[in-house]
Chains A and B, each alone.
Chain A
Amino acid sequence: MSTSVKVKEKREKINWKEVKKQKVLLIWSAVFVIYGTIFCYLPLFGWLMAFQNYKPKDGFIHSTFVGMAKFKQLFLDDGFIRVIRNTLAMGVINLVSTFVMAIVFAILLNEVKSRGGKKMVQTISYLPHFLSWIIVTCILHDALSSTGIINELLMKFHVLEDPLNFFAYPKYFWWIVAFANVWKETGWNAIIYLSAITAIDTTLYEAAAIDGAGRWGRIKYITLPGIKPTIMILLLMNVGNVLNAGFEVQYLLGNGLVQSVSQTIDIYVLKWGISQADYSIGTAAGIFKSIVSIILIVIANQMAKRAGEERLF
């Protein structure tokens, strides 16, 4: 008993000494906490709007509470259900296609033996990542327009008789978005896999070569298992982001003709919240998205834990 009190006292004494010493750090921490509270945590109080019939002129205090009515309204809206479908579909298509492409690209690039060639391909592959979505959509529009290269190629090989306006048909839209994502991010996403591959013990490859394993054998039995933890952790991070997969590109590429498949939750929020100034419905949609994202992250994390893989938290 007495010893523990003594220890406590001692710790307290050290603490005060430390506090004095760490004064600068504490002051700056306070500044950062105030900043974070304002810009990251204060908006969370705005979630109140989803449970109110929020009117800007009444503010939070005088707006009437309506409980879950806004959420009910949301789920009775066919438009919202469609938007969830679009977001999920594009999220999953993008996740799978960019993921697979990045891994394939990393593995194949690693097999390129010429150092200069490898470096050059890699540098070029990063380029699209640094371009904004605006530029990417400009380029895509040109390539897919009726006089663009894709139409010309298809006509040259007699796949098409007349030029086709790809942006006018809903059935192409999701794939155009996936294509754009693959084009933009494959090289960039491959960086992490490439560095994971270089971390693999090279003696493993030598041993495999002596045992008579060919290229495919080495890729299958050494490279892939070697980068499996990296693949798992990135998959986890991305699963939580599935619902975040769509705003800019859909917003920029979408048009009236493909509206039914192009709109995502984020666009819905923007449309209702900002253009129609119905803050309550927009916020409710935003909350739905956040909660589903967090649930997805937790589930993915649990699954990884069960599988004995690395976890996010």
Chain B
Amino acid sequence: MNRRIVLHKKKKTSCSDKIFVVLNTVFMIILVIFTLYPVLNTLVVSLNDGTDALRGGLYLWPRKWTLQNYITVIQKNNLIIGAYISVARTVLGTLLALSANALLAFIVSRKRFLFKKQLSLFWVITMYVNGGLIPTFLLYKSLGLTNSFYVYIIPGMLGAFNMLVIRTYMAGIPDSLEESAQLDGAGYMTVFVKIISPLCKPVYATVALFIAVGHWNSWFDAMLYNRMSSNLTTLQYELMKLLSSVTNQSTSVEAMKNAASSVTPTSVRAAATILTMLPIVCLYPFLQRYFVTGLTIGGVKE
């Protein structure tokens, strides 16, 4: 890498190279604006007076500052319940799913394990074949998983993809560690908990991030299985209801007439959107190096 840079400096950059650099930089800047602007604009709308925002023309800075939208959001009971359930399912679901996937990956990555191949195949098949929406729905219903919190956690606990990512990582750990521990009398569970798992921290972080984001962002299961129980709603599902309530309002003029207070459905929704994305936005930059490596080993090698 360094040698390459030195080489570039030694050679005089040609004219076409200069044009390339300029164009490339412009492209990257446009891309960054393109990615960030919509999010930033939502933030601006959420901090602006709702009725005022209907006039349009809000770009990078709020015209009439207010926190009223956020206050309205945190006073909504269903959003509070949704937040509570979302946090609960993310924490519990991630812990359980990570432990289960890790244990399964540990088992299938033991070189001496008798049914190594069969057990792997059993799970790999599930990546390509599944019953589909309706049989799954009926199964959950007959298992009593509908209208319960467990439907968020139990069915999706094990996933072949996540398991394979961990397995690939574990396969790279030398066997001698396990063997020497076993000579000292350690059983498989001790090896798993005390020896392999500490070495797998990076890949555990990756998979935990994947699972946690999935939990935090999912809304379809809440709609499909727990629509009847308003105390089991999730944050994203509540946001989705806000979305459809806004789109069903035929024109913004009508909304303006209806708006007696300074908040509008659009501005409240913007505030709820910002609050919902906040935890992820704050977290993901710090986990970057984990998911980059995780995705690389999981995506290319199977």
Interfacial residues, chain A to chain B (CB-CB below 8 A)? 15, 18-19, 22, 24-26, 28-29, 32-33, 35-36, 38-47, 49, 56, 105, 108-109, 111-113, 117, 120-121, 123-128, 130-135, 137-143, 145-147, 149, 152, 167, 183, 187, 191-192, 195-196, 202, 205-206, 209, 214-216, 230, 233-234, 240, 248, 252, 255, 266, 269-270, 273-274, 279, 282-283, 286-287, 289-290, 293-294, 297, 312-313
Contact = CB atoms under 8 A, between A and B. Distances in A.
B281 A127 contact: yes
14 contacts: A18-B112, A32-B100, A40-B130, A43-B132, A43-B136, A43-B139, A112-B28, A127-B35, A135-B277, A138-B243, A187-B35, A255-B247, A283-B134, A313-B302
A286 B132 contact: yes
B24 A108 contact: yes
Task: Give the interface SS of chain B, mostly helix, strand, loop or mixed.
Answer: helix
A248 B136 CA distance: 18
B266 A142 contact: yes
A44 B137 contact: no
A45 B236 contact: no
A187 B103 CA distance: 31
Nearest to A188: B295
A28 B105 CA distance: 11
Interface residues of B, number: 97
B131 A46 contact: yes
Given A24-B188, A46-B131, A149-B41, 14 more contacts: A32-B119, A44-B129, A44-B130, A46-B136, A126-B288, A130-B284, A134-B240, A137-B243, A138-B243, A141-B243, A146-B252, A209-B7, A233-B300, A283-B135
A128 B40 CA distance: 12
B38 A143 contact: yes
A292 B38 CA distance: 37
Nearest to B272: A138
B11 A33 contact: no
B24 A143 contact: no
A234 B299 contact: yes
B119 A135 contact: no
Interface of B: 1, 3-5, 7-8, 11, 14, 16-17, 20-21, 24-25, 27-28, 31-32, 34-39, 41-42, 45, 54-57, 59, 100, 103-104, 107, 110, 112-115, 119, 122-123, 126, 128-139, 143, 154-155, 157-158, 187-189, 213, 216-220, 224, 236, 239-240, 243, 246-247, 252, 266, 269-270, 273, 276-277, 280-281, 284-285, 288, 291-292, 295-296, 299-300, 302
B226 to A, nearest CB: 13
Given A123-B285, A192-B295, A202-B4, A143 B138 contact: no
A297 B127 CA distance: 12
A18 B114 contact: yes
Nearest to A104: B27
B164 to A, nearest CB: 12
Contacts of B295: 191-192
Contacts of A191: 291-292, 295-296
A11 to B, nearest CB: 11
Given A147-B54, A290-B129, A49 B135 contact: yes
A281 B49 CA distance: 49
Contacts of A196: 300
A111 B20 contact: yes
Nearest to A297: B128
A283 B131 CA distance: 9
Nearest to B246: A141
B31 A121 contact: yes
Contacts of B41: 139, 142-143, 149
A305 B252 CA distance: 56
Nearest to B53: A147
